[in-house]
Structures are given as C-alpha cells and as structure tokens.
Amino acid sequence: MGFLVSIRDGFRTFFHLHSVLQSKQSLDQEKLALYTYEKYKWRCSPLSEIFPQNQPGIPQAMSILSVTDLTRCIRAVIEAEDLFADVWVRGEISNLKEHTSGHIYFCLKDENALIRCVIWRNSEIRFDLADGMSVILHGRVTVYEKQGQYQLVVTEVTPDGVGALFIAYEQLKARLQAEGLFDKSRKKPLPAFPRRIALVTSPTGAAVQDMVTIAVRRFPSINILLIPTLMQGEDSQASVVDSLKLADSIPDVDVIIIGRGGGSIEDLWTFNSEGVVRAICACQKPVVSAIGHETDFTLADFAADLRAPTPSAAAELVVPDRNELMSKISMLADAMKSAAMAKVTHGKARLGILMKSRVFEHPEILVQERWQIVDTLTMRLANSFDRQVSNCSARLGEVTAKLHALSPLQVLSRGYAIVKHDGQLVKRISDVEVGDSTETLISDGRLVSEIKEIMEGWVENG
C-alpha cells in the first residue's frame, strides 16, 4: 500500500538516507556494496571497486567515486526495498511540457519544495493537465542518471478536491461547446405526429420496457423500431455510435430516442464521450436523449435536439396521446360548429337590419337620386361644350383675319403684280433676258408679256 507524502517530507527522507550513506558509523561501506551489488547488479559496482585504496597522493581514509558510480549508488539507496515505489504526493503543477513523443514533463511544487515529474505516453490520464492545477500524484521515485536528479514517475493523477471524471467532463464540454455543437441553432424540431420511432437502447433493460409500454398506450398504432445497443462497458461507445448511424440511415424513421436507466457516473460515462456526442450531432433526424434519472446530465443531453429527464418522459414527449388528440379534435369540431352558427346568426341579424333600411323599402329613391345626378352632369357637359365651341370660333375668326391680311391676293388688290418666268419668280432683272416670255399675275387675272428692253433702276412717270 502506498503512502501520501508532501514534497517537503520526501526531501527530508532523501536527505536522511543521504546522511546515512555518508556516515561510516551508521552504515558499513562493504555491507552497502554487497547489498547494492546483489540487489542492483546492473546499477552499481561493489564499493571495493568503487573505493580503491592506496592510490598515490590520496589519503588512506578518502574514497574516490566517479559521477556515474555516485549517482548509481544514490539511486540504489533511493530505490532500496521499494521505499518510494508506491507513493502519493500532493502539490501544484508548474512548467508543464508535453513532448512530441507523447511523454509529459512537469514540476510538482508546494510552498517549500519542488520535485520533477514525468508521465510516460502509455499512461492513462483521464483529463488534461495545466499549470497551476492542484493534484495528487501516484507513482514511484527514481533517479534520472543522465542529469543526476531524482524524479517521480507518475502512474495516476487525481485532482486535489475534484474528481478526475468531473475534470474530464468539464474540459470536453468546454471544447465541444466552443465548436458550437451545443448551440440552439443546431436543434431540429420534433415531428408532431411521428409514424415510426427508433429506440437506441439495451433490449433487456427496464428502460426499453417503459418506453414501449408508454408509447403503445399513448398511440397504439405507433411503429417502434428497436436497435439493440450496448449502453455501458468497454465496447459501449462504438455500439452506440453504430446504432445511431443505423437509425439515421433508415428512411421512414421520424425520430430517434437514445435512452437507458440510471446508474453511477462510470455507468453513464459512455454518453460523455466525444464519439457519441459527434454521432448525435451528425444525425439528420431529430434525436431525443433520455439518459439516467432527472438529475443525471451527460454531454449527450447537450448535443441532442431535446433532453428528456427519463426514458418514460421521452416516450411521452415524442409520442402524442391518441385520447388527447381525439378529445382535442372533438373540441375543435365543436368550436368550429359554434363559430359557424354564430356567423350565421350574426349574418341573419345584419340582413334583417339591411332589409329594414330606407334603400330596401324605397329602392326607387336611390334610382331617382342617381337620375338627378346624371341630368345635372349632362347639363354641365352641354354648357361646357357650347363655351368651348364659342371660344374656338372667336379664335378662328382672329386667325382668319390675320391670314387674309398677309395673303398675296390682298397685296395684288392694292396694285402690285407678280412676275414669273418659267414658273420661277422674277426678283431681279438678271433673272430674265430680252426676248424672254414672262407671266404677270394681277388681282383679277394673268398677263403674258415679252421682254423688249431691260433697264436698271426705277423710272417714275410724270
């Protein structure tokens, strides 16, 4: 059985053994040599070989050791009788480094001392370590001869004051939540009236009996598909993942329920695994989780589209109650009938009011009023038309008078004439020559003339 020591107590024990090694009164060198040689032949040579006598220049009482021999002897003393082969040490982690080989190196310290620690890569540590974390380590003390330092080879790590499973749970939860796997936006709605339900659960547990009984009682025609699954144990994670993939691949499955009864945190740990969480999130069909009791929360609950407190509650949430539906349909039918009757009654009452109105009792009044409006509009239209015609006539007279004043005939009536030659107006004397025939237009006819003489300038008579 191991024992729990602080780092300070470990140092004190080591220094005590070191003082024993140095004291000739407390430990005979030859006995130590024989002891270490027999128990650690591959680690330390006999002291008679390590401590040669009568060397020139060396006092008789002085023994000379190589660094390797001294280190091996110290290691032999520390590991003697497996004194530190099974210890528990409490402290705080610092200088944590994870090598590319997978080994983890760090220091464990308290307020008075520090010890170096190593965790080999084949060790099973359930949660991630971090600087500043208070832990209790289990392992054995040994000496790393290359650097001449003793260290604790750790085989087990327990959080100081918090369970290892809880630490692993919280760390994985934070990482998956940061990826968005628990976001509400990813949640799929459940079908209101599922026709087929896939149960991912153990075929022999009480949970499957509860879910089937409640589902059939609530809706006798419901189709239930049972997918036998290991719900705990070494192979349970792979079994749950495979069952979820199978259920999601069946075309006519409307919703998936993954459920099991209660148990310890170790029993339910399968549903805190990353593989199960990702399998739930990958399902195209809605998934309802029903893991354990109402107080049991797993990471599968956060990933599922809906969490039910128990397997029985999952069946109640997924499967509608036939009697409740029939009752609701009956209530809706009665409500529709009442609403229709109320609508008819209201229509009759309104029709009675309209029938008693002035329009229905004397409909000719409404027609007469419309006739009068038509007559008024007709008179206004006729008056408007007459005004428009009168205005247009006056405007036409004014334009005609202006055109008449500008007419060439009006100019000819005042004694002017128009002379043309070959159909072209004669505007200059250069337009004609002597002997040309011209046509002269006057107010009451035409004169055909022949040019006898062409003279420049005006010639006034008298």
- Which one of 134, 162, 190 terminates a domain? 162
Burial of 390 (0-12, 13-18, 19+ CB in 10 A): exposed
Given a cut of 70, whether residue 258 has pLDDT beyond it is yes
Give the whole-number percent of the chain exceeding pLDDT 90.
41
Average pLDDT taken over every residue of the chain: 82
Quote the pLDDT of residue 51: 46
333 within a domain of the structure (yes/no) = no
The packing angle between helices 206-218 and 311-318, to 10°, is: 20
Residues 150 and 96 reside in one and the same domain: yes
Structure-token pair, residue 14? 């080591």
Integer CA distances (angstroms), 303 to 22, 138, 178, 299, 348, in order: 63, 35, 13, 6, 58
Residue pLDDT, tens place only, 116-126: 999 998 888 87
Residues 137 and 258 reside in one and the same domain: no
More confident residue, 317 or 160: 317
- Which one of 320, 340, 360 terminates a domain? 320
Cα–Cα–Cα angle for 164, 276, 191, rounded to 5 degrees: 130
Integer CA distances (angstroms), 409 to 417, 418, 441, 443, in order: 9, 10, 10, 6
216-230, 316-330, 422-436: which has the minimum mean pLDDT? 422-436
More confident residue, 405 or 143: 143
Q: Are 112 and 79 in contact (CB under 8 A)?
A: no
Structure-token pair, residue 259? 């459920």
34 within a domain of the structure (yes/no) = yes
Provide Rg for the chain, Cα atoms. 58
Q: Average of pLDDT values for 303-330?
A: 94
Domain residues for the domain of 456 are 408-462
CATH classification at residue 67:
2.40.50.140
Residue pLDDT, tens place only, 352-393: 888 887 777 777 777 887 888 898 999 999 999 989 999 998
Residue pLDDT, tens place only, 408-453: 777 777 777 888 888 888 888 888 888 888 888 887 888 888 888 8
Concatenated DSSP letters of 62-79: -----HHHHHHHHHHHHT
Quote the pLDDT of residue 318: 96
In which band, very low, low, confident or very high, does the pLDDT at 24 lie, cut at 50, 70 and 90?
very low
Q: How many Cβ atoms from other residues are within 10 Å of residue 160's Cβ?
A: 12
Residues 192 and 143 reside in one and the same domain: no
Given a cut of 90, whether residue 338 has pLDDT beyond it is yes
Quote the pLDDT of residue 363: 76
Given a cut of 70, whether residue 26 has pLDDT beyond it is no
Structure-token pair, residue 294? 């109402």
Beta strands in 321-429 (DSSP E): 418-421, 424-425
In which band, very low, low, confident or very high, does the pLDDT at 133 lie, cut at 50, 70 and 90?
confident
DSSP letter at 190 equals: P
Residue pLDDT, tens place only, 72-107: 888 887 776 667 888 899 988 888 998 989 899 999
Q: Are 219 and 321 in contact (CB under 8 A)?
A: yes
Residues 310 and 235 reside in one and the same domain: yes
Residues 112 and 238 reside in one and the same domain: no
Residues 312 and 422 reside in one and the same domain: no
Query: Percentages helix, strand, coil for the chain, rounded to the nearest 5?
Result: 45, 20, 35
| Calpha distance 112→6 (Å, rounded) | 10
Q: Average of pLDDT values for 178-202?
A: 95
Residues 123 and 216 reside in one and the same domain: no
Residues 177 and 207 reside in one and the same domain: yes
Residues 135 and 52 reside in one and the same domain: yes
In which band, very low, low, confident or very high, does the pLDDT at 55 lie, cut at 50, 70 and 90?
low
Residues 85 and 6 reside in one and the same domain: yes
